[in-house]
Amino acid sequence: HILIHHFIVPFTPAPITMTNKRRAILAIATLSYTASAFQAPTTLHSATAASRQSTTTALFSSPEAEDARNAAKSLTNDAKNPKSQQPPLSTLVNRVAVAGATGRTGKYVVQQLLSQNVPVLAMVRDVDKAANVLDPTNALLTIRQTDLGSEKDVIAALSDGGEEGKCDAAIWAATGFSDSPDQSILDKLKAVFGLATNAQATIDAVGLPALGEGLAKTSKGGVLPKVVMLSSAGCTRPSWSEEKKLALDGSAGIPIVRLNPFGILDVKKESEEKLRSCGVEYCIFRPGGLNDSWSPNQRPIFSQGDVAVGRINRQDVAKILVDLLSTPEATGKTFEGVSIANSEGYYPPAPSIGPALDRLALDSVNGGTGPSEEVVRATYAIMQQLLPGEKQDAAKLAMGQTYEQLDKDEDGRLGKRGTEDAPIRSTS
């Protein structure tokens, strides 16, 4: 009610003109795109819910969106009802491949899957490290040394174990550079020291589309995502126009975007585009700042337009990535996510992320460009109010500085803004 009151009330006393109507509709549309669960769907008054659904459908509907929505409802038997039980993930997939399984997020992804009795193929570079990080005694876990920079090896890994052990879904939680021989030692050193990167040699650019191509022809139904990609909030911001960067400085001016270490955001953006074009059912999740000090089990706030800034714990990211495999409302969508603290139990995570994601738009709408600029800028205005700290000015942060340090005028671990002592190159 707080957000709806904030946007709608100012327009009520004004004369009913086309401009006022347009503003009111835009405000409602923005709430739909932001898709935060400030109140559970079941607590909405039926008339309000019907009005919102009608307005949102008129603005963002398309044949593809309607087909996906109908399929989602068919599979979940009313996905908007938190009491509606989805089938266990273990009954929906045969085996899930996890790329980056020993990483700081990937290890939690594996744990989540195994806890739900889902067979896992851990695609790793170092099997000895995997034996220490993961639980090799678990009968559901298979650890396979895999070169994620080799399309042939990635596709072969998906079929290891014959029909019974064949993977029909995957989670991409990896980032890095390939060991393939076509990347010279000089290129690797340049990448390590931030002097240059060869996007074609990154594992994201090779292994991710290979996963998509390998799973595109599997028999798993086309309603659920087959490939869930862990990307990064901010990956489109380096390519924004200067006008947009200035207007949305709270998103474009944050350290990860301003410095773009190793050009990783550009690599993520290109990898996203390759995944979308490879013909597989997919979902792309762009979390905000990954912070293990931020308590887990918080409420996620999903949005679109790549303007989200904030924090989220890796354990919550891993849970979301796994949940997306059984969430039909996520298929064909790209969205960001941060979390807000569950203060005194008032903002617990929703029983299902399906209702929130159902409000988001397919990547195919608006000619494949996603939300309009008006919606993006309205979403930005809302999301900036959810920033941690008191100053709520993410553009003033230095790399390695926390919001709490900014509030106290303390330097971060890498020094002052603009002089950060880190082996990275600036994109500004």
Q: In the predicted model, what is the mean pLDDT of residues 146-162?
A: 92
* Amino acid 370: pLDDT: 82
- In eight-state DSSP terms, residue 216 is T
Q: How confident is the model at residue 170 (pLDDT cuts 50, 70, 90)?
A: very high
- Look at 130 and 415; give whichever has higher pLDDT: 130
* Amino acid 222: pLDDT: 65
- Nearest one of 321, 327, 301 to 379, comparing CA atoms: 301
- Look at 86 and 305; give whichever has higher pLDDT: 305
The pLDDT tens digits of the residues spanning 318-355 come to 999 999 999 999 999 999 999 998 878 888 999 999 99
The pLDDT tens digits of the residues spanning 417-426 come to 988 875 544 3
* Contact partners, residue 288, CB within 8 Å, separation at least 6: 233, 308, 309, 310, 311, 312, 336, 337, 338
Please give the Cα distance from 34 to 382 (Å, whole number): 8
Among all chains, which residue has been given the structure tokens 């205005």? 381
The pair of structure tokens assigned to 7 is 């946007």
Please give the Cα distance from 2 to 143 (Å, whole number): 49
Q: In the predicted model, what is the mean pLDDT of residues 299-303?
A: 97
Please give the Cα distance from 194 to 262 (Å, whole number): 5
Please give the Cα distance from 25 to 276 (Å, whole number): 30
* Amino acid 43: pLDDT: 38
- Look at 149 and 32; give whichever has higher pLDDT: 149
Q: In the predicted model, what is the mean pLDDT of residues 356-362?
A: 95
- Nearest one of 301, 331, 352, 355 to 53, comparing CA atoms: 355
* Amino acid 261: pLDDT: 83
Q: Which residues of 168-204 are buried (b: 16+ CB within 10 A; e: fewer)?
A: bbbbbbbbbbbeeeebeeebeeebeebeebbbebbbb
Angle in degrees, 0-180, between the axes of helices 18-34 and 373-383, rounded to the nearest 10: 60
The string of DSSP codes covering 146-158 is --TT-HHHHHHHH
Q: In the predicted model, what is the mean pLDDT of residues 107-114?
A: 98
Per-residue pLDDT at 118 exceeds 50: yes
Q: How confident is the model at residue 221 (pLDDT cuts 50, 70, 90)?
A: low
The pLDDT tens digits of the residues spanning 190-214 come to 443 333 344 445 788 899 999 999 9
Amino acid at 278: C
Q: In the predicted model, what is the mean pLDDT of residues 354-369?
A: 91
Among all chains, which residue has been given the structure tokens 């690599």? 267
* Amino acid 58: pLDDT: 38
- The answer to whether the beta carbons of residues 224 and 280 sit under 8 Å apart is no
The pLDDT tens digits of the residues spanning 265-294 come to 998 999 999 999 999 999 999 999 999 989
* Amino acid 85: pLDDT: 67
* Amino acid 176: pLDDT: 58
The pLDDT tens digits of the residues spanning 31-82 come to 444 444 333 333 333 444 444 444 443 344 445 445 545 544 544 444 444 4
The string of DSSP codes covering 50-75 is HHHHHHHHHHH--HHHHHHHHHHHHH
Quote the mean pLDDT of the chain. Answer: 79
Angle, CA of 259, 263 and 268, to the nearest 5°? 120
**Helix, coil or strand: residue 98:** strand
- The answer to whether the beta carbons of residues 121 and 160 sit under 8 Å apart is yes
* Amino acid 194: pLDDT: 38
* Tally of CA atoms within 13 A in the half-sphere of 176 that contains its CB: 16
